[in-house]
Amino acid sequence: MSTQTFSPEQVKALSQQYDLFDMEAYAVAQFCKMYDIPFYCLKAVSDNLDGNLKDWRSILADIRLRFTALLNAGDGSDRECDLD
């Protein structure tokens, strides 16, 4: 869901129930659901509900560490997530 689609009042009400709104992966997720294809999506949030964009470069190292940990969880590998 995009905050541009909803009024400020609707965004405020929705933000009481949800931590994140996502529309970019929706079409892929819906397609996968229709054809019973497993779907996983890892994303880093770059803006807040108030529309303020985070300085993504300042959090890139943290994102890399978190994504790498998720990729390596349970498989014993030592892959590194390349975000450059």
Q: What is the DSSP string of 10-73?
A: HHHHHHTT-S----TTHHHHHHHHHTT----------B-TTSPBP-HHHHHHHHHHHHHHHHHT
**Domain count of the chain?**
2
Whether pTM exceeds 0.75: no
* Least confident range of 12-16, 41-45, 76-80: 76-80
- Has residue 48 been placed in a domain? no
- Has residue 68 been placed in a domain? yes
Same domain, 33 and 59: no
Same domain, 12 and 38: yes
Same domain, 59 and 33: no
Q: What is the pLDDT of residues 18-65, one digit of tens each?
A: 776 667 788 888 899 999 998 888 777 776 666 677 777 777 888 888
Q: What is the pLDDT of residue 37?
A: 93
Per the structure, the complete domain to which residue 25 belongs is given by: 1-43
Bridge partners of 47, per DSSP, are 53
CB 72 within 8 A of CB 79: yes
First to last CA, the chain: 27
- Has residue 49 been placed in a domain? no
